[in-house]
Structure 1
Amino acid sequence: MGQAGIATQLWYATPGIRRAGITALVVMTGIIGWLSVATRVEGSPIAPWWPAAGVAAIAVLASRGSRLVVTAGIFVAALAANALLGREFGLTVGYAVANAAEAYVVAQFASRGGPEARLDSLRDVSRFIIAVVLGALVMGLLGGLTAALAVGADFLSSAFALVSSHGSAMLVVAPVALVSRRLARGVRRLEVVVQLTVLVVIVALVFWPGNTLPLAFVPLVALLWAAFRLPITVVAVELLVVAVLATTLAGMGGGAIGQYTDSDPRIAAVLLQLFLVVHACAALFVSAARNDWANVVTQLGAREALLRGGIVNSETGILIAEILDGDRLRVVGVNPTALVALGRETMPPTWGVVGLRISRGQPVFGVAELDDAIRRREIARLELEREGRRFDVDLGLHDGVGGATVMTIVFTDVTTRGERERRAIQAAEQMRDLNRQKDDFIASVSHELRTPVTSILGFVEDLDGADLKPAERVATDVIARNARRLADVIEDVLELGKLSSSAAVSRPTVSFDVIAVTRHCAQDAEGLAVGRAVSMRVESPVDALPIRSVPQDLTRVLANLLSNAVKFTPDGGEVEVRVDPSADGVVISIADHGPGIPPAVLDQVWERFYRVSDAEHRDVPGTGLGLPIVRSLVEQRLGGRVELESDGASGTTARVHLPWDRDAATAEASPAIDEDDAVSAGHA
């Protein structure tokens, strides 16, 4: 905000500062308007110049909201300026309305109805000038009608005088508050002082009383100097200086324009306004074009730096050259990898200045096949060997700007790429070996743990039928519960080891009723909620749905999903199970009414050992292996897919999609797991 124009800074300022600034601008509008009316030719209904128009537009641009309040303030200021000098009532009111309408139109169009109006680019300047023209036309139309109706003045001459006086003033005054000060960086103060001094001297000489030579075009030379060399902020200020100085001296009868002041003041006013319009438009357009050019150069420089950085740091050799005069190849850019492929450490300076001749019989880069392709100017693919390294060389031709031809030569280090591929293969082999060792270790440990756990469960069952004391009964229940949990974990680990092994063998498929299997699993799951009164409700639109799949794997899937649903369902709640036929197979839905899973972690719950970390989930026992087993069984063994839905507040729904025939579905999808997939599964 600190580098924006004055109008924009006021718009973004605090309410107190903004209101004070706008009030000062409105008061200034009235004072400057009063001075313009006071200095007009006696008896003329129109002032020769109206700089108050520019100040009024700045005030409206700085306002927020509908801008109508500030526009009303402009009306009051213009009304007071005319009334204090005793102008006719009709002229006073009509001109006040016209001034307010002009300021509102200019502000709305110049800022596109938004908060800011800028003069940083050609588009901004063009829009501002169009806004000034529209505002001046509004002023000319309303003011001309006012002069004609109030004092009987000629409408066309009055309208023309108003358009020129207000338009020229707006072009000169308003830019001071619209240009951005950030564009003033890097300016040389000495040059500004010298240029401004030269401009003031030229304007003074051109408009000095007694000088009648037609030299009104000379100040434009100094203004164009500023437009080409200095920031647009300096140009805007100098336009205002030229306007004030030229108007003052011409009013004293100076210059070729001032000589008409006594004989025909209207001609003098029109000539002065045309002088200001021409100089303002020329200087603003040239300065804005310079800004656009500087922006383009900056953007191109940044892109070139980015491109050069990418080329220099690339492992692929790149050489870009331009064919000049049909027989020279000038190198635009080359990176170290390309120089190595060409047998050089650095690029000779002549490559980028004079270039390399590509005439017949004369070497270019010293590589026979590459030099021949360059001379023929053909797109080619070559092989190059240099110091034990092999490169693939791709030569391309592209049409450049202005009919020039750009040649690109890309060197791909095949030797380095091969070494990288061999290292990747070795790393993959090591990963596979580690994965096999991990699976073997887990399987061995799990089998070793299964035997003592089985013994513990056997003795616990014997103790269940014995006559035990209450304390002993409690201890037996604790042993049984934890032994069963340990047995479940061992089974889960063994199952995951089988699923992640590339040697895993699928069980044979059989035909069975999926609804019957689902009901049996639901009945078994009800036994997990003894004492909690959690019920199971199984529904289906049909009585039986035969499919061809693996009932053992489906039973394991349903057992895990139903176990989760029971664990997270509140006491006295219900788990809803539904089996529906679909076009592709069967959909089994299991819905609970527990705390749900936060949507942000729905994808993470499929990872091994992952558990939701909030308090409601931590209180429920589990290892985080059930859902990974479910996904692996459904996708690898049953040929289907599984998904979870939850809003994180009102429960979770799991859906298992199974094909009608597992064998047919897997044959179409060809889901055989290759070694890389097995490695990935082992590290999931």
Structure 2
Amino acid sequence: MDARGLAARLHDLPALPRRVLIAALIVAAVGIARLSLVAISPDAPIALWWPAIGVLFFAVLASRGRRLAVSVVVVIAVAIGNLLGGQPLELSLAYGLTNAIEVWVVVRVLTGGAAHARFTTLKHIGRFLISVAVGTLLFSILTAAAAALLAGADPALVASSLITSHASAFFAVAPLALVSPSIPLRVPAWEPLVQTLSLVFLTVVVFALAGALALTFLIITTLMWGAYRLPPMTVALQTVTLAVAATLATATGIGPFALLLDTDERGAVLALQLFIMTHAAAALFVSGQSADWNKAVDTLAARERDATLVADELLQLNAQKDDFISAVSHELRTPVTSILGFSEQLVDADLDPETDQAGRIIHRNARRLADVIEDVLELSRLSTNEGSTRPPADLDLCLLLENCIDDTLVLAPAARAVTVERQLPDVPVIIHAVEQDLVRVFSNLLTNALKFSPAESTVVVELIAPAGSAWVDVRIDDEGPGIPLAEQEAVWERFYRVQSPQHRDVPGTGLGLPIVRALVEHRIGGQVTLSSDGVAGTSVVVRIPRAPLSIAPPTQSAAR
């Protein structure tokens, strides 16, 4: 989308068409100036409203370089317009010079010396208002001094009249040169028509039908509707049309401001100029705010699209990674199983001490690699929400825990002398579940507890099965280094390992706990929680249903 305004587009044209159009603007300004001088102030030789200044601003802004050449032409044009309006030669020249100075200053402050003036955000509109304030104030002082010296007018009266006259003209007319006509319509096609008809209707009611002054607020609410919802060029055209209609109605004795002409002519003119200035300024600010909002919405939408694309790419890469890991793990499983089988034969054989030790090392490392491969394959199945390949069956949880403890102790280094205290009921605790899933859950938890427990410490395994309850709890407590509070949620993530030296010194892949949580929550339908004071000891509680249920497990505290 081309964000350049009409003045910027005129500025970028080739020399000949640019100069012709600038000349046409200046000629139009002369004609408008002539019409503006039909009614002049009874107390000072100045026009009551000066919309020609907005057209001259357009011409100077569209020129190139330092814009001095066109400013000189402005001096001549304004002087001619004043002469045609019956002003004396010396006063006409003085007004031509002050008008040219005003326009040049406004353009200079607005552009900062750049080729184009930006007018797409609320910040740019604020700069425009500041430039108008600076230029209008300087112009009013210079023109008031000229009127006092050359025509004996009251300088204070002249200056106060010029400020509102020129400021309202800048606010109403200049945006036509600044806003882009290319900004698309973001609302339904019927809305601009309804808003425009509403604005025309209210303008007729207020001015043509001599409505009360208090009814003018209806116009500004409708104009703000357009400023917030419609393209800026539409609002600029509506604003300048409203200003012209209000001025013509008042000049012909129609409308709420005309009612004041007989009693307070200057007050009526001032009220009209303030009406134009406030409506135009409000439209500018609301339009700028709407532009900022639309720009923010577009930026967020673009970022959301980019984020979605990145997320899709990451999902694809993650899927490729999972497929690769799964494929490699499957390829490794067969040779590792063979190594494990042969190493078991070496362990069971009657060999010399050196060969026996080598066989046990091979068997231990083969077992460790086989466990890693099984963990990776299990995670791959869980990440694809693949269900268990075995059906659930009635199991004695006490017996299952006993077997898991015995199998884990066999693999634990005997030299560390870590014992397991079993706090299990004397009667069977029957549950309906997949044995393979439960064995993997409790084997991983027991392996972690034994690995991180100090030598000659005790791991406590407790089964809590309240009579009549649909849920049973298995609690495993160790005396290890504990897990820092800040990392207790992170340990459930894949490949994450606690960053303390006590944990880094213990070998592991960071896959055990993620597998436990995935199995418990997604397959078994239970809940697993972990608690530790971060200094010593960790407790893990696994809550599982006695039978597959659709209800969620009751919330339990993670604190020990």
Kindly provide the amino acid, as one letter, of the partner of residue 47 in structure 1.
A
**Separation in 2 of the partners of 1:262 and 1:13?**
50
Within a 5 Å distance, the mapping from 1:402-441 to structure 2 comes to none
**Separation in 1 of the partners of 2:54 and 2:136?**
11
CA change 1:339–1:151 in 2 (3 A) is farther
State how many pairs are aligned: 352
Report Cα offsets for 1:586-636 as digits up to 9, x if no partner.
xxxxxxxxxxxxxxxxxxxxxxxxxxxxxxxxxxxxxxxxxxxxxxxxxxx
Instruction: Answer whether contact 2:3 2:120 (CA < 8 A) is retained.
Output: no
Instruction: Answer whether contact 1:50 1:165 (CA < 8 A) is retained.
Output: yes
Q: Which residue of 2 aligns with 1:18?
A: 18
Q: Which residue of 1 aligns with 2:327?
A: none
Within a 5 Å distance, the mapping from 1:91-490 to structure 2 comes to 91-186=91-186, 188-314=188-314, 315-316=317-318, 341=382, 344=385, 379-382=488-491, 391-392=494-495
**Separation in 2 of the partners of 1:23 and 1:101?**
18
Kindly provide the amino acid, as one letter, of the partner of residue 202 in structure 1.
L
Tell me the secondary structure at the aligned position of residue 45 of structure 2: coil
CA change 1:69–1:379 in 2 (3 A) is farther
How far 1:161 sits from its partner (Å)?
0.4
**Separation in 2 of the partners of 1:202 and 1:178?**
27
How far 1:27 sits from its partner (Å)?
0.9
How far 1:86 sits from its partner (Å)?
2.4
How far 1:254 sits from its partner (Å)?
2.8
Tell me the secondary structure at the aligned position of residue 211 of structure 2: coil
Tell me the secondary structure at the aligned position of residue 97 of structure 1: helix
CA change 1:33–1:157 in 2 (3 A) is same
How far 1:102 sits from its partner (Å)?
0.8
CA change 1:285–1:213 in 2 (3 A) is closer
How far 1:81 sits from its partner (Å)?
0.8
The alignment's TM-score, normalised by the length of structure 2, stands at 0.58
Instruction: Answer whether contact 1:122 1:285 (CA < 8 A) is retained.
Output: yes
How far 1:195 sits from its partner (Å)?
0.8
Instruction: Answer whether contact 2:90 2:150 (CA < 8 A) is retained.
Output: yes
Tell me the secondary structure at the aligned position of residue 74 of structure 2: helix
**Separation in 1 of the partners of 2:511 and 2:253?**
77
Instruction: Answer whether contact 2:186 2:230 (CA < 8 A) is retained.
Output: no
Instruction: Answer whether contact 1:394 1:411 (CA < 8 A) is retained.
Output: no
Tell me the secondary structure at the aligned position of residue 194 of structure 2: helix
Instruction: Answer whether contact 1:140 1:159 (CA < 8 A) is retained.
Output: yes
Moved more, 275-284 or 208-217: 208-217
- Is 1:85 aligned to 2:85, yes or no? yes
**Separation in 1 of the partners of 2:188 and 2:200?**
19
How far 1:249 sits from its partner (Å)?
1.3
**Separation in 1 of the partners of 2:32 and 2:497?**
72
How far 1:192 sits from its partner (Å)?
1.4
Instruction: Answer whether contact 1:79 1:92 (CA < 8 A) is retained.
Output: yes
Q: Which residue of 2 aligns with 1:60?
A: 60
Instruction: Answer whether contact 1:316 1:411 (CA < 8 A) is retained.
Output: no
Report Cα offsets for 1:487-523 as digits up to 9, x if no partner.
xxxxxxxxxxxxxxxxxxxxxxxxxxxxxxxxxxxxx
Instruction: Answer whether contact 1:220 1:279 (CA < 8 A) is retained.
Output: yes
How far 1:380 sits from its partner (Å)?
3.4
Kindly provide the amino acid, as one letter, of the partner of residue 196 in structure 2.
L
**Separation in 2 of the partners of 1:243 and 1:87?**
25
Q: Which has the higher helix share?
A: 2
Moved more, 198-207 or 33-42: 33-42
Tell me the secondary structure at the aligned position of residue 382 of structure 1: helix
CA change 1:414–1:306 in 2 (3 A) is farther
CA change 1:203–1:380 in 2 (3 A) is same
* Aligned residues with identical type, % of pairs: 36
Instruction: Answer whether contact 2:5 2:181 (CA < 8 A) is retained.
Output: yes
Tell me the secondary structure at the aligned position of residue 313 of structure 1: helix
Kindly provide the amino acid, as one letter, of the partner of residue 392 in structure 1.
F
CA change 1:220–1:379 in 2 (3 A) is farther
How far 1:413 sits from its partner (Å)?
13
Segments of structure 2 that go 5 or more residues without pairing to the other structure are 320-378, 387-437, 446-474, 476-484, 499-509, 516-560
**Separation in 2 of the partners of 1:145 and 1:339?**
87
The alignment's TM-score, normalised by the length of structure 1, stands at 0.48
Query: Which 4+ runs in 1 deviate beyond 6 A?
Result: 366-370, 410-415
> Over aligned residue pairs, what C-alpha RMSD do you find?
3.3
How far 1:38 sits from its partner (Å)?
1.7
**Separation in 2 of the partners of 1:206 and 1:339?**
74
CA change 1:95–1:209 in 2 (3 A) is farther
How far 1:160 sits from its partner (Å)?
0.8
CA change 1:45–1:308 in 2 (3 A) is same
How far 1:183 sits from its partner (Å)?
1.5
Instruction: Answer whether contact 2:43 2:153 (CA < 8 A) is retained.
Output: no
CA change 1:191–1:77 in 2 (3 A) is same
Tell me the secondary structure at the aligned position of residue 160 of structure 2: helix
Kindly provide the amino acid, as one letter, of the partner of residue 380 in structure 1.
E
Kindly provide the amino acid, as one letter, of the partner of residue 165 in structure 1.
S
Tell me the secondary structure at the aligned position of residue 302 of structure 1: helix
Larger relative contact order, structure 1 or 2 (CA cutoff 8 Å, min sep 6): 2
How far 1:10 sits from its partner (Å)?
0.8
**Separation in 2 of the partners of 1:238 and 1:135?**
25
Q: Which has the higher strand share?
A: 1
CA change 1:97–1:379 in 2 (3 A) is farther
Kindly provide the amino acid, as one letter, of the partner of residue 381 in structure 1.
A
Tell me the secondary structure at the aligned position of residue 46 of structure 1: coil
**Separation in 1 of the partners of 2:310 and 2:286?**
36
Q: Which residue of 2 aligns with 1:32?
A: 32
Instruction: Answer whether contact 1:187 1:231 (CA < 8 A) is retained.
Output: no
**Separation in 1 of the partners of 2:511 and 2:176?**
56
Tell me the secondary structure at the aligned position of residue 257 of structure 2: helix
How far 1:305 sits from its partner (Å)?
2.1
